[in-house]
Structure 1
Amino acid sequence: MDSVCRYLVENLTAVNNYDRTTVHTFVFHNGSLTGEFLTELMDRIPVTASFAVTADIPTDFKHSKAFKYKKIQYNEARWATLDDLKSVKNECFVNLKSSNFDCKDLNEFLKHWVDCDEAILTRLTLKLKEGTVIDETVLTDQLTILLYYVDDLPHFFIKMKKISNEKLVVGHLDFEKDKTVEFNVWPTDKWSGIFEMLELLEKVKELEKELLRIDEGEEPNSNEEIEKRNRRRREIEEKVEHVRRQIDKLNEYGLILQYPV
C-alpha cells in the first residue's frame, strides 16, 4: 500500500512541479477502499488535485482533507458530516452520490454559506438521505430567498451577506425527483437582476425589523413622543413601499419573496 501511494503521488506531483497550471485528478473506481488506504492517499495527495472515489468507503471514515480538494466526488458519502461539508474552500466542486444529509443539514449548510467571508464553493451536488421528505419550512428557515416551484419542488435564489468581491455570490438551489440537490454559485453579473432583488429584499427585511422594534418598544409617555414615534413609523413604511415597488419592477418572473423578520 505504501509503495502504491508513493508512486501515485510522487510521480504525478513531480509533473505538476513543472507546470503549475496542471490540476491532476485521482480517481478510484469500483470495489471498496479501506479507511487505512484512503488515509494514506489523502495524507499525500495535495489539495490542489481533484479527488474522486466511486468505490465504497467505510461509514466511519474521517480525514481533515476529505473536503479540501479542488474537485470532489464520492459515490458513497454517508460517512460525511455537516462539519465536513462546511470545511469546503477555494471555490471547489463537490459531488456526493449518496449522503446522510436531510433538509435541516442542507439549511444549516446554506446559512453557513450565506455568512462566509469568501467564495468557498462553485457547485454542490448531493443526494439527500434515503427516505428524506422535502420539508420547505425546514429547508428555508431563516433564509432570505427568491422562491419558485418546478414539479411542486422548491427552487430558489440566495446570496452571500458579505461580498468582498463580485465572484461567486449568487446561489441557486434546485431539486431533482430523486432528491438530488444541485446548488450552483455565480458572479453577480450572471444574475444581475436577481442579485439586485436580493439586495433590496435585505433592505425590506431590515426596515421591517425596525418597525417591529418600534411596535415592541416602550409606550411613549407624552403626546410629543407619540407623534415622534408615529412619524418615524410612517417614514419607514414609506421606505418599505418604495423598495417593494423597486423589487416589483425587477421581478419579471413572478418569484416569491421570502425572508425572516
Structure 2
Amino acid sequence: MNTKELKSLLDAKAEYYNRVDFIHADPISIPHAFTDRADIEIAGFLVATIAWGQRVSIVRNGFRLMELMDNAPYDFVMNAGPADLKQISAFVHRTFNADDSLFFIASLKNIYRLHGGLEQAFAAGLRSGDQNVYNSLLRFRELFLETPHLPRSEKHLANPASGSTAKRLNMFLRWMVRHDAKGVDFGLWKLISPAQLCCPLDLHVGNVARRLGIMRRAQNDWKAVEEIDQVLRSFDPVDPVKYDFALFSMGISEKL
C-alpha cells in the first residue's frame, strides 16, 4: 500500500483501539484504579516496570503489588516502615524479586523527596531542541540509580545508550504525557511534549511495523525506535505515539 493508504489504515486502527473498552486487559488498568496524581504515577511506573511476559500475568501481579502497598502507593513509598518493607519483599514477577522491589521503593522515595517527583525527574534531561525523549531517559536512569542498589537491579531500568528500545519506559511516558478525550492515557504531565514521545517498540510492534514497511531494521533496538518514529512523526508530528494503539493491537489482537 502507498503512504496515504498506510496512514489511513493506522489512523483508523488507532481510533478503534484507543478506547476504554480495552483497558481491563491492559497493564494501564492498574494506574486507572487510582485518582490521586502521585498514586497514578507510582502505580503506572511500577506496573510498566514489570510489563513483560503474558499480559494476564502482568495485570494480576500489578494489582497484587498494589495490594502489598495497601492500595496507597504514594503513601507507601514515602512512609513505609520495616514491617511494610517486609511485606513488599514478598513480591516477585519473573526476575523482578524482593531486592528489586525494595530498591525501587527506596529510589522512588528519593525521586519524590529530592528531585520533585517522577515528572521532574524525567524532564530533567531534556535539552532545548530535543526531538525525542532519549536524553530524558538517560538522565532519569542516572537519577534513579543514585540510590544504593545491587547491580542486578539495573537490568530492570532500560538504557537506550546501550541500544535498548526502552519499551516499558516509553510506554509509561505515553500513559503520563498523551492527552485526548478517549480516557485511556492520563495526560497528567506537561513538561514533556507528546510530540517528543517515542513508540514503545517490542516484538509485536516491530513485527507489524516491518510487515507494513514502516521499519526495515531487523533488530529491535534504539536505532529501530528512531526509524519507526521518523515515519510515525510524518503521519502525525503532534501526536506520533497514538499509533502505538494501532501497531501493538494489530500484533496482539489481529495477529498481523
Q: What TM-score results when the alignment is normalised by the length of structure 1?
A: 0.24
Greater helix content:
2
Greater strand content:
1
Q: Bigger radius of gyration, 1 or 2?
A: 1
